Structure 1
């Protein structure tokens, strides 16, 4: 298996069969060998710098009913909220003063936030914080809507594809949603000029190694600027409440693979890895991640943005505790930097 890791390290590419073999035959020794390679690639490209993004979860209303998601529209137990424009701008102000130079506006597909409202918010952030990057994560939109967001001043867009297999996609989503539209959205975003992020849940219900390999091949083909993966964590108010959660060990292994496949990519150590392991994010950094996304949302709404059970929303992942997070990164030899942390192709 080490020969496959070496091949990936030098060529940035493996066949489906080789990826399958590498994943299915991994062990502690192979993982350590992979992480030695992936962390060295990350350090060679980015140094010991960790980029931070201020996450603003501005609405938990959603028109969709994805089977795994805690804010799906049919969840009557969800405590819904929407942040006002002033609350969003106040979150940005707090973040800027703390050293954040990227704001991530994330929410469900909320029909109340029409194009003109979103464009106005984006423009106000852009005008006040001209030195900052604006990232959106608000789901599937039309090409024209994406173009309006881009022209208003948004720079980046996060849209996880979740799975690259149609059959598997249909097991996780209602029939009104399609994988083909999801992928088309990603290609539209790239065509417009956004820095694009995609990704998937590791260990999602019914996922096979073949599905994971398809995901990796799709990511390689798309060549996104950002890749976010995290373990599946079930939510008590979904049809997958009793399903087993995803593996941190496999998630870390896949982060290592993605780092070798896409050396320039920005890869977050996600909240989900910190949810299932107190030092999960440190482990992700040491596997090849280089981004953290502390929460800038008003404290009173953080628990309400409940995509999965037991999501951490206070402590080091809270933006106001950035000093604690900096100390944790220092303890493993890394530094949080005040920077937009833009994608730069080698």
Structure 2
């Protein structure tokens, strides 16, 4: 097993793993390791998080700009086939107002996230992004709006977008095809991530843990994919079903799996910016707290207009108030202090770019 006494050696052990040996390690932590061993794994993870980022937790202001989506992922509540979904999109003025609220609260990074909404053409999206950067020149801008073509990504970069989040979802093609309809392409998604890297975005990838049809081998593939891609950001959270999707009857499995994988990913890709996801907090606040204590270093309070938050329903009971909203910034900061962590409202760039 990993050398718990020497973090550098432990990381090298993971880096040298092939798919099979990494799968064995993952399975061990999932099924055999005792609490003491898992705590030692978390200690290794904390070592690498603290080495590069100390105990800082970076704040990003999340703005959910649209619940329209042309894609049809089987797990997602805003998939185009869900006729029960409440659809909305924010206009340019509203998006800028959300940024202004966030700026007054101290945010220096805004994350615009939405379904793949054809309304937001290359020109419309570029205009919104350039307006945000003009109004808030010292802030970083992140997008999470799905699969686009090279020219679209390039124009967004030219108009001030610093970062782009695009979860790879799974690094195993056969698994991807069980999570998505035939018109969606595993190869295209992988190619989008290559383009983002080529265009020098701070690039985010990641996957759901315990998604339907996932197994230890596909998870090992995911970790090796992340090691090789070396993204600046990695988003991972538990699969949570949505009542109006084909996966509505799949169960939430062991949330500790997510915490274990966050630790392994932190050791493998130690400089990554890793959020404690809303999905973790939706299950129970203690899980997002544990993620922050052990591995994660980003949180994304919600700046979206309150009247639309319930409509951006990716999974059942998605959190948007309480500690997942900008109105509770002081509560979040106090909570971080209680965890011996420090709220950081700077841009929070990737370590090598600071």
Q: Name the TM-score, length of structure 1 as normaliser.
A: 0.97
Q: Gaps spanning 5+ residues in structure 2: where?
A: none
SS at match of 2:182: coil
After TM superposition, give the deviation of residue 19 of structure 1 in Å: 1.5
Moved over 4 A (4+): none
Does the alignment pair 1:3 with 2:10?
no
What residue number does 1:204 align with? Answer: 211
Q: Which residue number corresponds to residue 344 of structure 2? A: 337
- Identify which of 284, 295, 298 aligns with 2:302: 295
Deviation at residue 247 of structure 1 after TM alignment: 2.5
Q: Which residue of 1 aligns with 2:245?
A: 238
Paired position in structure 2 for 1:61 = 68
Contact 1:12 1:262 in 2 (8 A): no
RMSD: 1.3
**1:12 positional shift:** 5.7
Counterparts of 1:219 and 1:322 in 2: how far apart (Å)?
31
Cα shift at 1:233: 0.1
Match of 1:99 among 106, 126, 139: 106
Aligned twin of 1:165: 172
TM-score by length of 2: 0.95
The match for 2:282 is 275
In the alignment, the residues of structure 2 paired with residue 345 and residue 21 of structure 1 have an alpha-carbon distance, to the nearest angstrom, of 32
Q: Are 1:202 and 1:247, in contact at CA under 8 Å, matched by a contact in 2?
A: no
Q: Which moved more, 1:108-117 or 1:277-286?
A: 277-286
Aligned to 2:155: 148
Q: In the aligned structure 2, how far is the partner of 1:344 from the partner of 1:265? A: 8
Matched, 1:227 2:234: yes
- Asked if structure 2 preserves the Cα contact closer than 8 Å seen for 1:8 and 1:261, the reply is no
Shift of 1:109: 0.3
Return the match for 1:215 from 222, 225, 230.
Answer: 222
Unaligned runs of 5+ in 1: none
Residue 44 (structure 2) pairs with residue 37 (structure 1): yes
Q: For each residue in 1:144-189, what CA deviation from the matched residue of structure 2 results, as whole angstroms up to 9, or x when unmatched?
A: 1000000000000000010011110000000011111100000001
Once residues 278 and 156 of structure 1 are traced to their aligned partners in structure 2, the CA distance between those partners, rounded to angstroms, is 27
Give CA-to-partner distance per residue, 1:31-50, whole Å, 9 cap, x none: 11110111121112111110
Distance (Å, rounded) in 2 between the aligned partners of 1:118 and 1:2: 46
Residue range with higher mean Cα deviation, 17-26 or 268-277: 17-26
Q: Could you say which residue in structure 2 is the equivalent of 1:309?
A: 316
Matched, 1:48 2:55: yes
Partner of 1:20: 23
Between the two proteins, the alignment pairs up a number of residues equal to 346
1:109 and 2:109 equivalent?
no
